[in-house]
Structure 1
């Protein structure tokens, strides 16, 4: 994909950009830029990634082996004693892709910028995402019953944890938090895939004691559902960011360091 930076560096060779002008381009909706193939490349910090692992573990709750991703910031060895941010990915992602997303680099960059150190850990969802699907796979049970044991066996402080998810993973975070409000210390949501009516809107009161951080793009297809979600909360989110962008890795990466700093403070 061609980045806007690359296009501009090549001069005024594209008529459309010349017509719009620099100021007009900045105000153009994200969907217009995306349709022209001119959205920015996803940002990844220039920082070392520390210790990153992808292992296979056996999950009784899922009835299968699953990938387990962990990342420790550079300079903290194997991460012994560090708290954990548990990752719930979106529908088009998997734990095997987390390294390519640059999560290890983001983690070290956040710590270098002053965030208290923590570990990232995530696995894969089931056929229905992060909720039980009726066929025996129960991602919620995996996260609440098996994940703490796996992380404890690796020396992490699995009792200090927050949840972080995007898209379908953000929806999964909400459903898990409603089912077990005391499981995590906080929840960070990137563009949660929520649409009213949906079961997640049935029990928003359960989230009243859970600190929430929510980030969503103005051109995200779920932004209306996110606004309805926020309006329905008994307690406003600690962090609420609507910013230019869509349902893309580029938008999520742009806000990952902010989310990591916020989560670290609550661990």
Structure 2
């Protein structure tokens, strides 16, 4: 696979190419973080929690994040969007990324309410590796932890970026028909990988892809979109950065919230 330079959110760390299917991951400058922070809506937080759970699928303790929009109490009865992070983040970063405020903002704009839930999946592209299976954690344990909180796990959508964008597409392929919708930002895909090979398995699931025109994955994301039946796409100026991802989060939450609120046919 062609060597790629991919920008993320943290500074000063490089992820091994082998763990990420040959991609080299670099991380964003402080000025990107400052610009990204200015895009976080100035609205109240609802019930936002960062807990630790024992993951049998991963064989370790993981951070478990949840966010409920302001005005909706502890979120009981609300549908769920599972969040899969990129290689440069963990669930512990989600509060700092402003996810809870983006969620409140979406609901204040008229989007039907839902909750966010995510856990730390390591840097395995959300694929199994020996006894460490973050994919199983995502489709089995995360919904179970959400059900314990009283969330409506009969209605689940998926959202991820970069490595997590690859991950949500793989998760939807692994469990076809289970998820109400899939939103992927700048998914770390490459022609010939498992996402491309399984693209037909996404038929019938609403899929939306976002990618910046200056992103090294741009050409591959556009090629992938052409293989997913009915995929929605949005392309604009931007790179593989938190600034770009924050700029398109409101549109993604609109898409996810409406998909989660729509009755199945």
Do both proteins adopt the same fold according to a TM-score greater than 0.5, normalized to the shorter chain? yes
Structure 1 residue 126, shift from structure 2 partner: 3.2
**Equivalent residue number for residue 196 of structure 1:** 191
User: 4+ residue stretches of structure 1 with deviation over 6 A?
Assistant: 37-40
Structure 1 SS opposite 2:67: strand
Kindly provide the CA deviation profile for residues 240-267 of structure 1, in whole angstroms up to 9, marking residues without a partner as x. 1000000000001011011101110111
Determine if contact 2:87/2:123 at 8 Å carries over to the other structure: no
- Give unmatched runs, 5+ long, in structure 1: 1-33
Structure 2 SS opposite 1:41: helix
Query: TM-score when scaled to structure 2?
Result: 0.84
Determine if contact 1:148/1:159 at 8 Å carries over to the other structure: no
User: Within 5 A, what are the aligned runs for 1:179-194?
Assistant: 179-194=174-189
User: Within 5 A, what are the aligned runs for 1:211-222?
Assistant: 211-222=206-217
Determine if contact 1:148/1:158 at 8 Å carries over to the other structure: yes
Structure 2 SS opposite 1:159: strand
Structure 1 residue 92, shift from structure 2 partner: 0.1
**1:167–1:38 distance in 2 versus 1, CA, 3 Å:** closer
| Aligned-partner Cα distance in 2 for 1:247–1:176 | 22
Determine if contact 1:62/1:126 at 8 Å carries over to the other structure: no
Q: Based on CA coordinates, which of the two structures has the bigger radius of gyration?
A: 1
**Equivalent residue number for residue 113 of structure 1:** 109
User: Within 5 A, what are the aligned runs for 1:69-148?
Assistant: 69-133=65-129, 135-148=130-143
1:157 is the counterpart of 2:189:
no
| Aligned-partner Cα distance in 2 for 1:191–1:58 | 30
1:175 is the counterpart of 2:170:
yes
Structure 1 residue 183, shift from structure 2 partner: 2.4
| Aligned-partner Cα distance in 2 for 1:121–1:38 | 25
**1:96–1:241 distance in 2 versus 1, CA, 3 Å:** same
Q: Of 243, 259, 262, which residue of structure 1 is paired with 2:252? A: 259
**Equivalent residue number for residue 13 of structure 1:** none
**Equivalent residue number for residue 10 of structure 2:** none
Query: TM-score when scaled to structure 1?
Result: 0.83
Determine if contact 1:86/1:161 at 8 Å carries over to the other structure: yes
Structure 1 SS opposite 2:83: strand
**Equivalent residue number for residue 59 of structure 2:** 63
Structure 1 residue 129, shift from structure 2 partner: 2.6
| Aligned-partner Cα distance in 1 for 2:167–2:126 | 5
**1:152–1:195 distance in 2 versus 1, CA, 3 Å:** same
Structure 1 SS opposite 2:96: coil
| Aligned-partner Cα distance in 2 for 1:213–1:187 | 6
Structure 2 SS opposite 1:77: coil
Structure 1 SS opposite 2:86: coil
| Aligned-partner Cα distance in 1 for 2:238–2:143 | 34
- Give unmatched runs, 5+ long, in structure 2: 1-27, 261-265
Structure 1 residue 38, shift from structure 2 partner: 8.2
Structure 1 residue 160, shift from structure 2 partner: 0.7
Aligned length: 230
